[in-house]
Amino acid sequence: MSQDVFRAIEQRWSCRAFQPAPVDDEVVEKLLKAMIKAPSAGNRQPWHFYVVTNGSVKRGLAEAAYGQEFVAQAPVVIVVCAVPSESAGTYGERGSTLYCIQDTAAAIQNLLVAAESLGLGTCWVGAFDESLASSVLGLPDERRPVGMVPVGKPAAPRTQSRRRPERQVVTWVR
């Protein structure tokens, strides 16, 4: 069952406890398709996604994430890597230092909203030792891990973090 996109955005939360039940490959494929549909500068799509279900690799990723054990607990962890050279080919240094990061962030956001619409919990993990995560995955030098997203059925009650009021974060320029 899927939700209206605005409802999925409103309901999305950072889940840090997961049921051990696996996530069907067909569901993971839907999430990957949503990620691939993310916008990217010049349609360069400077990303590569690692779908991790191997327990020892997930434990290594949790260690790289400064001991955030929920990373290993999730049935699936999707590691989103930027490929700076894909953006640099068109946009030079700005492409390799900024656009590829923005583009992978858009892919992660699509993943978070799509997972919510399918009743799955996720958490965007950006706090990790990039070098250790690269080593755990055996990444080639041209791939930079920029986010880990554990995915699974939530095992804890939904919590919503407070958001700053619109008047504090929005300026209209007319």
CATH code, domain carrying 105: 3.40.109.10
Q: State the residue range of the domain holding 23.
A: 5-156
pLDDT beyond 70 at 2: no
Tokens of 168: 């504090």
Residue 132 inside a domain? The answer is: yes
Residue 73 inside a domain? The answer is: yes
Q: What is the pLDDT of residues 29-60, one digit of tens each?
A: 999 999 999 999 999 999 999 999 999 999 99
Residue 32 inside a domain? The answer is: yes
List the strands of the sheet with 121-122, edge to edge.
Answer: 47-52, 76-82, 144-152, 121-122
Distance CA 90, CA 69 (A): 39
Our count of domains for the chain comes to 1
- Main-chain phi, psi angles of 137, to 5 degrees: -90, -10
The pTM for the full model equals: 0.95
Where is average pLDDT lowest: 15-19, 46-50, 89-93, 158-162?
158-162
Residue 166 inside a domain? The answer is: no
